[in-house]
Amino acid sequence: MNVRGVNRIIVAVRNIEESKRYYADLLGAIFHEANWTGEPFGIQVAISWNAGIELCAPIPGKESDCFLTPLLEERGESIINVVFNVDDADEGLRRAKRLEIQTVNAVDYSQEEIDQHLDGLFTRYKEYFLNTGAQLGYGITLGQFELKTSRACR
């Protein structure tokens, strides 16, 4: 498995709209709504591919049911995950298992899902969210991302 670099960082925030404005003003980040990925977990999600940032916030009115709420109360707004772009996510998962690192969640989107939810940017989008919080203080995700265009995917 070769690491191509960091794809994005995932940041827990209290107010997603305020945070989107902040990163847009500071970095020129252009956000794409990705709530369809977070709603099952009680979170709002916005991703900026150009800035390499994913924002996650509790859904307003449902904070008491959200796993982010205690984390935000304890640590404040902070990085909760680093997503690495690798050339072989399955090999990365095998390495993690050898180290007895558990998988928290996994996604492997079909081209139809990529076209519908990810603006058709990719031909491959697969991620393994690893439970590395106890060891590192944040999660690691191993992702295999193949862009449709010749643009480099971090």
What is the arithmetic mean of pLDDT over 21-25? 98
DSSP 63: G
Radius of gyration of the CA atoms of the chain, in A: 15
Under a CB-based contact definition with an 8 Å cutoff, are residues 106 and 128 in contact?
A: yes
The tens digit of pLDDT for each residue in 38-48 reads 888 899 999 99
The tens digit of pLDDT for each residue in 65-124 reads 888 999 999 999 999 999 999 999 999 999 999 999 999 999 999 999 999 888 888 999
Under a CB-based contact definition with an 8 Å cutoff, are residues 139 and 71 in contact?
A: no
For residue 154, is pLDDT > 50?
Answer: no
Strands 139-147 and 78-86: parallel
pTM value is 0.91
Cβ within 8 Å of residue 51, ≥6 positions away: 23, 27, 28, 29, 30
For residues 3 and 82, give the distance between their C-alpha atoms in angstroms, rounded to a whole number: 13
What domains appear along the chain, each with residue ranges and CATH number?
3-147 (3.10.180.10)
Under a CB-based contact definition with an 8 Å cutoff, are residues 8 and 52 in contact?
A: yes
User: Tokens for 128?
Assistant: 């393994």
